[in-house]
Amino acid sequence: MDPYTISLVQKMISRILERCKSHAIYGVDSWNELQYIRGQIRSLEDLQQEIKDLLSKTENIDEQVHGDTETD
């Protein structure tokens, strides 16, 4: 995946996460709804972390394969 697409996905996840948090604070009418929103928030945060971890692994692999590409 190209960096632009990854960036768009990360931004979308962040926006959805902020909406869920706002809804949990201001718009929950029942305990069950709060639990559902908390589950969504947890899932989105887990997804964000997975993407970060995958990007980090990809960068590490690229560095190992390509090495230091700077020239003097």
Residue 51: partners with Cβ closer than 8 Å, 6 or more residues away:
6, 9, 10, 13
Please name the helix (run of DSSP H) or strand (run of DSSP E) that holds residue 26, with its range, or none: helix 3-26
Tell which residue, 8, 10, 7, 40, has the closest CA to residue 22.
40
The predicted-structure confidence for 6-64, as pLDDT tens digits, reads as follows 999 999 999 999 999 999 999 999 999 999 999 999 999 999 999 999 999 887 777 77
pLDDT at 9: 95
For the chain, give every domain's residue range: 8-51
Which residue is it, tokens 């692994």?
57
pTM of the model: 0.78
pLDDT at 54: 92
Q: Give the tokens for residue 21.
A: 């948090």
pLDDT at 62: 72
Tell which residue, 58, 57, 28, 52, has the closest CA to residue 40.
28
